[in-house]
Structure 1
Amino acid sequence: EFDYYNSMLINTVDEDGNNVELGGEFALEENEHFNNMPVNTLQSDIQIPTNVYNKDPNILNAIYNSEALNDVFILNFQKDPTLTWQYFGSSTGFFRIYPGIKWTPDSNGVAAFDCRNRNWYIQAATSPKDIIIMVDISGSMKGLKMTIAKHTINTILDTLGENDFVNVIAYTDYVRYVEPCFKGTLVQADLDNREHFKMLVEELHVKGEAKIKNAMKESFKILNEVCGSMCNQAIMLITDGAMEDFESVFEEFNWPDRRVRVFTYLIGREMTFAQNTKWIACNNKGYYTHISTLADVQENVMEYLHVLSRPMVINHDHDIIWTEAYMDTLFTTKAQSLLLMTSVAMPVFSKKKETLSHGILLGVVGSDVPLLEVMKLAPRYMLGAHGYAFLITNNGYILAHPDLRPLYKDGKKLKPKPNYNSVDLSEVEWEDTEEKGSVSLCLLLNADVQSVSPLCLCSFGMVLTRGPGQLMFMGNVSVLDFNKPLFLRTYCETDIDPGHRKYSQLQAAIRYLLGKEPDLECDEVLLQQTLFDAVVTAPLEAYWNALMLNDRVEPGLETAFLGTRAGLMRIVRYAGVETRVAKRFLTPVDKDNLYTIDHFPLWYRLAVENTPGSFYYYPVNDKGPLSRHLNAKRHVEKPENSHFLLLLPVQDLNCFLVDNNGFILLSKERNEVGRFFGEVDGSVMASLIKMGMYKKVSLFDYQAMCKNSHHHASSARPLLSVSIKRVVCVFVRFLLDFNLCGLWHSDYFVDAHKQKKVDALQPCDTAYPGFMYDSSVREANSLIKCGRCQKMFVVQQIPDSNLVLVVTQCCVFLNASEHNATVKCNRMKSQKVRRRPESCHAYHPKENAKECGGASAISLSLSLFSAALLVSSLLHRWT
């Protein structure tokens, strides 16, 4: 007996007010470092899935042996207070997490979380693998067997990751690829391809007679000819029985080396062909399992991972892995926000000599790392307004990037996109082929220079992109000259030492510079730049205040502001919040227009991309109730003596201020502000494009979300006589198949579930036009036929700005967007440029392959057996 803190049962009492078994009092306190969740930083606790018995002797022994990790986790957190969650996932199913938390079950009261299904566990426990899934779809697989088989395929697919390759083959008397596009090849098991396979598997239907030999030959040919992960190779055979003579296939393709492992899953209650199915697995270094119900699928599928881990465990190799980006969704019920995370993990195995050949994996230990912490290693202020850093995996997928959009809006809720962690580098960056020669390009932004440093053979790397410019202004100033608040940037790490957490960023910076807190970790270069900017720009704020006192502020001007590269902002409000139109602008909720740790404000980036000495006008994206009043106010980076144009409403004339991308900034119709000019007056926009004043460019969005189209099939109502015939046939078949003994065993019943809700939006690629103004054309006018009438328009460039004045007479609507949501075959199966993981553990001569599963015995019902003996004895006496 061994008691432990069960995270589901802690702080829970029974009807008498006593602590429930495995519960007890467990102190919890909200902690800002852990998203304000109630945690216990002095103790870890245990989470166990509902389908695992929490007092099983194997579970209790494994929990007891892992108790020493509690002190290790605490010591790690004391040494590095920036650490987040630390955990150990056991191969027996329990999950030790630090700091300890109260685990919240789902709406049905079930703890469905199983650490062995998580990507960090699977990647750390196994090496990369090529998997061929063979599923029997013959007539004998009808009904519940096919349902179990489909669930088994989906569960296997969920155990695969970016470093793995896969294909799915359905077989009867012929071989059929579930995706004809993937015929004869392997595709990377990224999220898009896995979900695509799942969708196609649901459409499988039983038919014909099973011929396993042809399907097995096809699988071996793919594994022999296609270069996938170049490591482990396995065939997953899902069937209700194997009757053929298939030994010749293994002799031709797999023996004697047995380079390809074969795992077999016997579906259904029948055990007639169990020995044949087990023979296949045991003679090909695989594992045999029997799956009779849906509840058996998860536990039995996971067995193959422990078999693949044997060579690594016998070698005693602690390979450290980093996962792809994922949302911190385990604690979304209490956490205030979703964070993109990555996990670092490594395997834990038994070193006992007597069990060395068995390769016993004890579990996986790991920790979560917020990607925001990794990005702090490349401060944005050191890269400039045009520079940025991004993280990329060895498979070419983005971990963090300024253009990565992991969330989409579904109604009023923000949801993670289904493929948010499988966005390829080519979907956020333009390719440079480095071909020789010269070319003239019209760029949306200034040219970037990228540098990649191969620091190590890791799972991901950081890329630094910098813009033009080599110098920065520096100066020696006193901290006493600085009294401005610091914005959303981290100048000093106040979370490391608990004694420093009481300081604000301004207080911490001043105490550090004055030498009062030398132990503080501060970015001294950033602080010196901020101090220098504060002193140099101080006279400007005095000038703004003088304008206000002398009533020299022009009507309509609400806010003047200045920002520097170091993150210093000076703001003066000339209008109160009651009369201000853009109430959110430069407030904490206006994240686009404020400095943050990972990006410059939008207005700052627009201004530095503009020609020096000119003004840049752009509309404020104020989503409040006054958003349609934006034409009354425009925020610009400009001196106070510049003037806005006043557009007087004139009958029969429409006047617009249009920016360099064709969007309206000022109009006499408030609902037209912020719209594309082509939507308001398509004929004039078409003429401007034809005249060369605007150039049309094609833009692509590879992270778009499009409406999901559902295909439904309907057929005519059958004749009544046919219906009666079918009812009779089904009823007779039911009587023949029905087994009364099944009523004695609740294991044979499966609860009904609601149909899975299909999201209204799905990932897609969209193409749409963009427009750029040619500043060499300063003015234009023309006469356009508009139906039976004629209309004239005049266009005039506004000097030293990004605006043009357009005066027109009538309006024509133009739809300026088009979508292309078709998923093309060649893109799904294309082999991306990637670097395969260096570590591979596919074989070890000391591996004991004799442990390959066992055939399940038919269970004996003691009550039925006793009743039968009693009745038999009574009848014997009476006769």
Structure 2
Amino acid sequence: MAGGRAPISTAAIFVFICTCLVAPSTASLDVKAFSTLANKTTEWLEALHARTTHSNLLDTNMNDDAIVSIKPVYLPTMVEEMAKKIQDHFASKRNALQEIVVMLEDATTFYIWNDDLRLNTSRPLLMKDIRDLDPSNISQFDERLGVAVRHNVSGIHVPLEVYEGWLWPNIREHREQDPEILNGLQWSAVVDQVFQENYEKDPTLMWQYFAAQTGFMRVYPATSWYVPPSLVDLDLYDARLRPWYIQGSVSPKDMIILMDRSGSVHGQTFTIMKWAVKTLIDTLGENDFVNVAAFNSTTEWVNNCTLCEVNKTSENKDCNQLLVQATANNKKILFRAIDQLEDGGMASYSNALTFAYEAFIQFEGTRKEGEGANCLKTIMLFSDGGTEWPEEVFKNYSANNYTKSVRIFTYAVGPHPIPTAVLKQMACTTGGMYSVITTRSSIRTKIQESYSSVLSPAQPQNGFHTDQYTTTYTSAVTEELTVSISQPVYNNSDYTNTSSLVGVAGIDVPIKTLKNLSPFEDIGPNGYAFIINNNGFLILHPGLQKQLSYLSGPPHIDLLDVEEDTEIMTLIRDGMITGKSETVQIPGKIRIDDHHHIPHNEIQFSYTPIPNTPYSLGLVNLKNSDHMVVQKPETLKKITLNISLTLLAPWEYCKNQLPGTDIDQLMKLQASMKDKKKKCNDNLIQGLLWSQGWTRQLLQKWQLDHSQDFFSRSVFTRFGLSRFFPNSVKPDVARWRDPWHNPALRRGEVNKGVSVIPHPKGAYISAPVTVKKDKSQVLAGVVGVNFTASALRHHFLEHIKDSEWLNQEDYLLLLLDDGGLIVTANRKEFFGVTLQGRFIGDLPIPILNNLKDSGVYKMDIVVDRQALCEQKKLIESSAGLRSHHVPNIFTLVINLLIEVFSWTEYLRYLIYSGVLAVLAPSVDAWTEWGITQIGGLEDCTKERAVYYFGDMHPLSSSMKCTNASDKIPFWAHRLPNTNALLVAIEMNPNFPECGVFSDLPSIHAQRVEEVESCAYQARFRKRPASQAACNATVGDGGCNRCPQQIEISVVLLLLMLAFSTGSVNSIYHNN
């Protein structure tokens, strides 16, 4: 045979082995012949690409081109320049925010309260009543914001629990009565003037808003309010529970939550208590620290991970995380532990409070740098009531320096007749607050109101408010990732003895706005900008994903969750948190996409703090990408942009130019280029026009030379210009128009030769276009062709047909990429498995094990903390029946009627249990602690394996299969200057399939089902710079209020029950 190889006997070609062990090379394997074939395959790929893309038409020698120059990129200078731009951007937003706060506080000073206000005189513009397609044409599309708005007024949002402030004006508690809402709308209306002036003065200003303690929120400019379809038109948004409001209204806290788990809380009361505790935890931010303990006659943490130190047990001796940071991950761990609680025994307040006070003392002595809020200390006690007064406990710990400032907030939970006077006295004695929670529908409002008024930061004497910067979260108005700057607003009216908090004002800074300040082209397609805050959480990063719903809390994704969690990356993270400015060059991996990583030895990180913010900025690029193309604008002035078969990257080429994917964006951009008032990025614009010039001839050739062998041909440039043919593939090309999400362009910066990107229908083959001038060179773009699977396999068979020893029946020949995906093969199927685009580990042979054991492939396990999974059905605890529902208006109204008109707790229990439990609809959209899941999905964590190339040397080895004693030869050889690997496996058609799969982890992401109870995230952090907010206002906490005695007739009660019964009967009849 060709290659000098003797025929292989039938007995030697047995099916593959189950041991998956790599055996030494045998004499019958001709490595030289296979290496020759691999080298020829490289040449074949290059020729196939050049022939089908016509890339040989391009002239990459720029020595004679006067309009192009290549200059070095100095990353430290770039990161300083970008940090200055971000600093200026935030400074202008702070100035605008200060104007809002001043106007609102002045309004409280001069406003005269009016008890006679009515809805028909106030006429607030509710955003839920605004429609996108406004027939009156009052709303106009705003190019800056990307939606239809009304610039002359702010829109109003009112939470469902507040009943829009006027629907049921005399059945709520005093703080939610009609005059407060309507007067609040009246006095705050003057802020519209400042809103409008700010918006007109600053062309980069986006959404402005103010939310009051009573619940209503003003948003400027007014726009329609979106409610997810899964909520059945029930708007569960409450501004007072959002990160920007909580951070601006409540000081950082060290909090211990005590849950009464005695036998008396069994059933509905325990269910309500669990909901309430989880709702409370959900209101905490990343600067808060918390833990939960359950008590009866004894007390212990709900999560055994922290049980050891306080109870002096032998279990988990090394743990000392008495309080943990209130991050999204840590909250989930606590939620799971709370769900598993069971009731029983007798309650001891003395034991519980002693436990909590001792935990505070121990935490002070064991916490590490940055741990703890080091601000306010609170104990939140949930119970159904009791008569024990822990006098000795208060006497002992009120004199201790570590515990004397601890405030106790108490919650009487559930519909029951147990006395609660002791709970109220606990709160009053320690400067806390007492609250009553009897129904599920009142949980969110009661929790929010319970401590925000007492723990709100005191108004600074100098009049300068502290700016609060949030972490990344999803905006309810735009449903995009954003951060906010917020400030508290105080009541300065004469009739108040103290300047109490009336609300919080804020301004959005969308993440895409910060991204648009990046030097996109300069740092290359593999370069990117990222920002973290004082806790190490991401503000900006290409790996930061959009959240499932705007009702979700901040995701709290750490830098080490998206970058490699290595020692050197930890040092970079810590350096950024502490405010250092450095540039380092490290070995690492370039994450091309979810399934492909490329090891690279020269990745540059340069970082610096952003002054006057808690953020730090980093820039990343590759060492061999340290040049950029710079145009001379005067040479290209008369060139116009060709909008045919063209897409642009979602970059801000000109100020407030919204990114798009269609011809409309190109037309707007061309108009902006001619408008001198529009500030455009000259480097990007000129690079765009220059890219159009050198890609024009390719597009013209493709239009004259189309073939059924491929789906499309395309060219992507570093300046964000994408061109393609035919037009039918535009949606596919649009997915790659952003260079960061374009695997071909990113590979082009790393691979000198051809790159292959397989998929189930074929493979995309691309090659870089490198511009050379003098002694420098830079990637200008990539040119590629998207082959069909059948055409590529046909070309491959034509290529190997001259290798006589590669008979199709005797050998399985695979062309793989660097992630283990099959680019093409000499067969369409392998024992019924379609090969095109398939992961090699899914084949019924253990070849992947042998390639990994030999070092051809290496593997990493990647954890994705931003994944989405199908929502699981919640497992009910033994605490009693739990109905997951969205409360309707009728249910909420009856709940309030019960709370007001019931003359005993016991009567309230009977009414609620007997009537409202039947009325509550079962809707899957509502989860246990008020987070809505969209489309049956929920946030989760997934794991997947990522394979990448290891050793370069050719491999000749063998493997075994089940019931076979002979070893099956195989070969593997990397194709030079590509991301491809050629593998040949000797086959015997007379024997059945191997039956042995790879036992290595799959590239297909799997949900992480089990979360370790001790998997708390405890990384280095720095507390917020300003601790002025730790001086909380002194509120009365409801301690000086006398309960209202409400007379109620038996007739009214019977009418209410009759009405409820009639509603129940109608529901049954309808069902």
| TM-score between the two structures when normalised by the length of structure 2 | 0.65
2:496 aligned residue: 355
Report the residue type matching 1:856 in the other structure: P
Task: Pick one of 807, 825, 837 that aligns with 1:674.
Answer: 837
Contact 1:11 1:25 survives alignment (8 Å): no
The secondary structure found in structure 1 opposite 2:602 is: coil
Report the CA distance shift for 1:676/1:108 in structure 2 as closer, same or farther (over 3 A).
closer
The CA deviation at 1:309 is 0.8
SS at match of 2:522: helix
| Residue 96 (structure 1) aligned with residue 218 (structure 2) | yes
Letter aligned with residue 57 of structure 1: P
- 1:470 aligned partner, one-letter code: D
SS at match of 2:1015: helix
1:50 paired with 2:193, answer no
SS in 2 for 1:100: coil
Measure how far apart 1:447 and its partner are.
3.0
Aligned to 1:529: 687
Describe the shift of the 1:312–1:251 C-alpha distance in structure 2 as closer, same or farther (beyond 3 A): farther
Structure 1 counterpart of 2:273, one-letter code: A
Tell me the number of residue pairs that the alignment of Structure 1 and Structure 2 aligns: 786
Return the offset for 1:81: 4.2
- Partner in structure 2 of residue 754 of structure 1: 922
Written as runs of structure 1 = structure 2, the 5 A alignment for 1:543-692 is 545=700, 556=709, 559-571=712-724, 573=725, 584=729, 587-595=730-738, 599=740, 601-610=742-751, 612=752, 614-619=753-758, 621=759, 627-628=760-761, 630=762, 634-637=765-768, 645-646=796-797, 650-667=808-825, 668-669=827-828, 671-680=834-843, 682-692=845-855
In structure 2, the residue corresponding to 1:344 is in which secondary structure?
strand
Instruction: Describe the superposition over 1:171-208 as per-residue Cα deviations: whole angstroms up to 9, x where unpaired.
Output: 11110221111335001111222233233323333311
- For residue 652 of structure 1, report the CA deviation from its aligned partner: 3.8
1:471 aligns with 2:624: no
Q: 1:72: Cα distance to partner?
A: 1.6
Cα shift readout 1:484-527 (whole Å, capped 9, x = no counterpart): 44623445436489xxx999556655774xxx532111011222
Cα distance change of structure 1 residues 700 and 489 upon mapping to structure 2, 3 Å threshold: closer
Q: Give the aligned partner of residue 932 of structure 2.
A: none
Deviations 1:454-509 (A, max 9, x none): 22352433321122143333343322245444623445436489xxx999556655
2:149 to 34, 39, 48: 39
Q: Does 1:814 align with 2:998?
A: yes
Unaligned ranges ≥5, structure 1 = 14-23, 408-413, 578-582, 622-626, 716-736, 868-879
Alignment partner of 2:351: what SS? helix
Q: Kindly provide the CA deviation profile for residues 398-452 of structure 1, in whole angstroms up to 9, marking residues without a partner as x.
A: 2332223446xxxxxx87997871222111112453599x999886245322122
1:449 aligns with 2:604: yes
The Cα RMSD (Å) is 4.3
Report which stretch shifted further, 75-84 or 169-178.
Answer: 75-84
Q: Aligned letter for 2:350?
A: K
Contact kept? 1:769, 1:816, Cα under 8 Å: no
In the alignment, which of 322, 325, 336 is matched to residue 469 of structure 2? 322
Provide the secondary structure at the position in 2 that maps to 1:83: coil
Whether contact under 8 Å (2:348, 2:388) holds in the other structure is yes
Q: CA offsets, 1:844-872, max 9 Å, x none?
A: 598465863535345432457999xxxxx
Distance 2:849 2:1053 in 1: 90
1:424 correspondence with 2:543: no
1:627-655 C-alpha deviation (Å, 9 max, x unpaired): 53x16x74555899999643568334322
SS at the partner of 1:72? helix
Is residue 327 of structure 2 the alignment partner of residue 169 of structure 1?
A: no
Alignment of 1:170-319 (within 5 A): 170-183=294-307, 184=310, 185-226=322-363, 227=367, 228-255=372-399, 258-268=404-414, 273-301=419-447, 302-312=449-459, 316=463, 318-319=465-466
SS of residue paired to 1:147: helix
Post-superposition offset of 1:603:
0.5
The equivalent of 2:93 in structure 1 is none
Q: Secondary structure at the match of 2:446?
A: helix
Q: Which residue of 2 aligns with 1:823?
A: 1011
Change in CA separation of 1:356 and 1:521 when aligned onto 2, cut-off 3 Å: farther
The CA distance in 2 between the partners of 1:420 and 1:61, in whole Å, is: 32
> Which of the residues 688, 698, 701 maps onto 2:863?
701
Higher RCO by CA contacts (8 Å cutoff, separation 6 or greater): 2
Residue identity matched to 1:837? P
Check the 8 A contact 1:7/1:103 in 2, yes or no: no
Deviation readout 1:53-77 (Å, 9 max, x if unpaired): 5241121211111011112222222
Q: Distance in 1 between matches of 2:1037 and 2:756?
A: 74
Shift of 1:373: 0.9
1:389/1:463 contact within 8 Å kept:
yes
Partner residue of 1:520 out of 662, 668, 678: 678
SS at match of 2:529: strand
Q: CA deviation at 1:90?
A: 0.7
Contact 1:406/1:416 (<8 A) preserved? no
What letter matches 1:593 in structure 2?
W
When the two structures are superposed, what TM-score results if normalisation uses the length of structure 1? 0.79
Cα displacement (A) at 1:564: 3.1
Task: Write the letter of the residue equivalent to 1:251.
Answer: K
The one-letter amino acid paired with 2:557 is V
Distance 1:197 1:657, change over 3 A: same
Contact 1:133 1:168 in 2 (8 A): yes
Aligned to 1:764: 941
Residue pair 2:852, 2:858 contacting (<8 A) in 1 also: yes
Partner residue in 1 for 2:487: 346
Deviations 1:260-285 (A, max 9, x none): 11111223466774433222112211
Q: CA offset at residue 154 of structure 1?
A: 2.2
Rate the CA distance shift 1:529–1:283 in 2: closer, same or farther, 3 A.
same
Residues 262 and 347 in structure 2, CA contact (< 8 A), matched pair in contact too: yes
Report the AA paired with residue 236 of structure 1: M
Cα offset, 1:78, TM superposition: 1.8
Are the counterparts in 1 of residues 529 and 618 from structure 2 also a CA contact under 8 Å? yes
**SS of the residue aligned with 2:484?**
strand
Using the TM superposition, give the Cα deviation of residue 48 of structure 1 relative to its aligned residue in structure 2, in angstroms: 2.2
Q: Please tell me whether the aligned partners of residues 494 and 508 of structure 1 are also in contact (alpha carbons under 8 angstroms).
A: no
C-alpha spacing 1:320/1:387, structure 2 compared with 1 (3 Å): same
2:810 & 2:263 partners in 1: Cα distance?
75
Q: Match for 1:780 among 935, 953, 956?
A: 956
Shift of 1:843: 5.7
Which moves more between the two structures, 414-423 or 454-463? 414-423
Structure 1 residue 68 corresponds to structure 2 residue 190 = yes
SS in 1 for 2:430: coil
Q: 1:283 to 1:615 in 2, by over 3 A?
A: same
Partner of 2:617: 462
- Identify the range of structure 1 (438-447 vs 697-706) with the bigger mean alpha-carbon deviation: 438-447
Contact 1:491 1:527 in 2 (8 A): no
Alignment-mate amino acid for residue 520 of structure 2: R
Give the gaps of 5 or more residues in structure 2. Answer: 1-116, 167-177, 311-321, 573-584, 590-597, 770-782, 802-806, 879-903, 928-935, 988-992, 1055-1071
CA distance in 2, matches of 1:741, 1:662: 65
**What is the deviation of 1:9?**
9.0
Give the Cα separation in 2 of the matches to 1:265 and 1:784.
Answer: 67
Give the Cα–Cα distance (whole angstroms) in 2 for the partners of residues 315 and 682 of structure 1: 74
How many angstroms apart in 2 are the aligned matches of 1:380 and 1:9? 37
> CA–CA distance in 2 between the matches of 1:339 and 1:792?
54
> Once the 2 structures are TM-superposed, how far is the Cα of residue 237 of structure 1 from its aligned partner?
1.4
Query: In 1, distance between residues paired with 2:907 and 2:431?
Result: 39
Q: Is the 8 A contact 1:290 1:856 kept in 2?
A: no
> Whose helix fraction is larger, Structure 1's or Structure 2's?
2
Residue 804 of structure 1 is matched in structure 2 by: 981
Q: Secondary structure at the match of 2:947?
A: strand
